[in-house]
A and B are shown apart, each in its own frame.
Chain A
Amino acid sequence: MAEALTDRAAAAKATTTETMIVAAARQLEGERVCFVGIGSPNLACNLAKRTVSPDLELVYEAGVFGAVPARLPLSIGDPTLVTGAASVSSMFELFAYYLQAGLIDVAFLSGSQIDKWGNLNTTVIGDYANPKVRLPGSGGACEIAINARKVFILMPQTKRSFVEKIDFVTSPGHLAGKRPAEWAGVGPTIVVTGLGMYEFSDDGVMYLSSLHAGVTVEHVRDNTGWDIDVASELRETHPPTAAELSLIRETLDPHGTYSR
């Protein structure tokens, strides 16, 4: 058992990733069905289930609904997701009957590049036919971006990832502010990075809504490839509490695989 931390000491000791995980977890308050990814989104969802959202149902792309992972899952189809789950269905059923039918309230996505409308690239850096870097591609991200009721984006922020123009639109966000109303989902509502949290205006444009402790607006501008809007009432992200940090460090990710 690690030495008990006070909230102040906890905040001082939180890693950037822990701050992101905690900020994202708190946003899951009141949500019911969450499509989870491996790594930090998995930690955020499992943290939320133990704090702000005990009734959260975790859905994994592998077809698992109502997962109760007894250990940290290291892949999207980890066997610990299956044992004790409410349901395991085929991937067709998962994508058609759960996702496309609108049963997913929130889904987590990430990307190598994002633009100010929350469009994401996970396919290629450079030209598709002559790639500089070949990235993994869509996986389920494209249909998740369209059909999940809303999307939370969790990704590191640098000038190379927050860019004016992404090289390839894998997963549509708010397009150029013209996301069709008939799509099942409203698109990305929140972006959490190591520097702060972002929301989207009615026109679908990303703006800085909250700064993590110790980060300045200038910091954010230095790490954004466009002239980013800033909320008139900019908040400071409430730092991780000792209780949140000890859940991450002692229960959810004891080896620090995804949180250090």
Chain B
Amino acid sequence: MAADSSKVASMQDAIREVVRDGDTVAIEGFTHLICFAAGHEIIRQQKRDLTLARMTPDVIYDQMIGAGVASKLIFSWLGNPGVGSLHAIRRRIERADPEPLEIEEYSHFGMVARYVAGASRLPFFPLRSYYESDLPKANPRIVPIDSPFSDDTVYAVPPLNPDVAIVHVQRADARGDAHIWGVLGCQKEAAFSAERVIVVCEELVGESVIRSDPNRTVIPGLIVDAVVVEPKGCHPSYAQGYYDRDNRFYVEWDAIGRDPQRLESWLKEWVHGTATHAEYVDKMGDRWDGLLPPEAWSEPVNYGRYE
């Protein structure tokens, strides 16, 4: 592979070139591998009028929506996992404070199915959910359809094709071939459904490392536009085997997000006050000490040589 095929870019350049005002952006990751570093760079660059899609908006979207980058949210569970509410988002939904936030709401399976339809370029995806729920009344894009083959009725959800998907992974090569292990969420479906893809990795590895274990490749470089190397880029979320979830931060965020002034000063100090995620990581100091897990390696598998 020629050196000029490398897609490695800084986070600043990747966000500047790939994310445009008005885009639909999905930063996925189910509790695991949530790319806070990319969300923070979007805030720093003051992107505007984004539609943010995520199954669980989590603290990252509370920060981004609190910072004013988005006008719409597509989601299926809106909370601070294990803690409670996302207050900046709730202020905008409940009181249009400081401005309204349009929402488009599904269930988890519905959101996953939307990505699957998007990734497969299908017009809809059918699922056995939503029967007798009020969700289809709240969202007219959840529609019952009759099976062409039986008396069955299922619900259809439309494809989701974000302009940009940002997926964090444990390791990738310079072309964007990416290994993920642990909770997979819908990183793969979000990446395949998007028009443009940024892969953010804990570690940049050689192509031979990826090729030594192709079953672990969740995202192929084929669909990747930029590769950003950003160690600890998920904090306070986690990367399996690299660092633990900073649960204390999720608890602390409750009080910060509740108060618009505290939220603003937190953004000023931790996002605008740091030029890069590496600075944010350094600024955390010894907070990392309790977040690094002891090792637990998998047994290697034998792929065999067939020459």
Q: Which chain A residues have a beta carbon within 8 Å of chain B's beta carbons?
A: 38-39, 61-64, 74-79, 81-84, 88-92, 95-96, 99-100, 123, 128, 131-143, 146-147, 168-172, 175, 180, 183-184
**Closest CB of chain A to B23's CB: distance in Å?**
24
Q: Which chain B residues have a beta carbon within 8 Å of chain A's beta carbons?
A: 30-32, 55-56, 75-79, 81-82, 85, 90, 93-94, 105-110, 112-113, 116, 127-135, 137-138, 181-186, 188-189, 238, 240, 244-245, 247, 250, 293, 296
Q: For residue B182, which residues in chain A have a CB less than 8 angstroms away from its CB?
A: 79, 82, 88
Distance, CA A92 to CA B129, complexed state (A): 14
Q: For residue A183, which residues in chain B have a CB less than 8 angstroms away from its CB?
A: 131
Nearest 9 Cβ contacts at the A-B interface? A77-B31, A139-B77, A143-B129, A138-B107, A136-B79, A140-B108, A172-B132, A95-B109, A142-B107
- Cβ-defined contact, B183 with A82, below 8 A: yes
Q: With A63-B184, A74-B245, A137-B78 as known contacts, state yes or no: A169 contacts B132, CB within 8 Å.
A: yes
Q: Out of A63, A134, A139, which one reaches B107, CB within 8 Å? A: A139
Q: With A62-B30, A62-B185, A63-B185 as known contacts, state yes or no: A172 contacts B79, CB within 8 Å.
A: no
Q: For residue B32, which residues in chain A have a CB less than 8 angstroms away from its CB?
A: 62, 77, 79
- Cβ-defined contact, A91 with B134, below 8 A: no
Q: For residue B296, which residues in chain A have a CB less than 8 angstroms away from its CB?
A: 83-84
Q: Out of A96, A171, A180, which one reaches B133, CB within 8 Å? A: A171
Q: For residue A136, which residues in chain B have a CB less than 8 angstroms away from its CB?
A: 77-79, 85
Q: Identify the closest chain A residue to B32 (Cβ).
A: A77
Q: With A63-B184, A76-B81, A100-B127 as known contacts, state yes or no: A138 contacts B135, CB within 8 Å.
A: yes
Q: Out of B75, B108, B134, B184, which one reaches A143, CB within 8 Å? A: B108
- Cβ-defined contact, B245 with A91, below 8 A: no
- Cβ-defined contact, A75 with B31, below 8 A: yes
- Cβ-defined contact, A143 with B109, below 8 A: yes
- Cβ-defined contact, B107 with A141, below 8 A: yes
- Cβ-defined contact, B138 with A128, below 8 A: yes
The number of residue pairs between A and B whose CB atoms lie closer than 8 Å in the complex comes to 159
Q: Out of B82, B181, B189, which one reaches A75, CB within 8 Å? A: B82
Q: For residue B93, which residues in chain A have a CB less than 8 angstroms away from its CB?
A: 131, 134
**Closest CB of chain B to A151's CB: distance in Å?**
14
Most chain A CB within a 10 A radius of its CB, from B94, B238, B247: B94
- Cβ-defined contact, B82 with A90, below 8 A: no
Q: For residue B189, which residues in chain A have a CB less than 8 angstroms away from its CB?
A: 90, 92
Distance, CA A63 to CA B55, complexed state (A): 14
Q: With A74-B82, A134-B93, A143-B127 as known contacts, state yes or no: A88 contacts B134, CB within 8 Å.
A: no
**Closest CB of chain A to B213's CB: distance in Å?**
15
**Closest CB of chain A to B6's CB: distance in Å?**
28
Q: For residue A146, which residues in chain B have a CB less than 8 angstroms away from its CB?
A: 128-129, 131
Distance, CA A84 to CA B113, complexed state (A): 28
Distance, CA A106 to CA B208, complexed state (A): 44
Q: Identify the closest chain B residue to A184 (Cβ).
A: B128
- Could you show 30 A-B contacts with beta carbons less than 8 Å apart? A62-B32, A62-B183, A63-B184, A63-B185, A74-B247, A75-B245, A77-B31, A77-B185, A79-B240, A83-B296, A84-B296, A90-B188, A91-B184, A91-B186, A100-B127, A123-B105, A123-B135, A128-B137, A131-B94, A132-B94, A136-B85, A138-B105, A138-B107, A141-B107, A142-B129, A142-B135, A143-B109, A147-B128, A170-B134, A180-B131
Q: For residue A92, which residues in chain B have a CB less than 8 angstroms away from its CB?
A: 112-113, 116, 186, 189
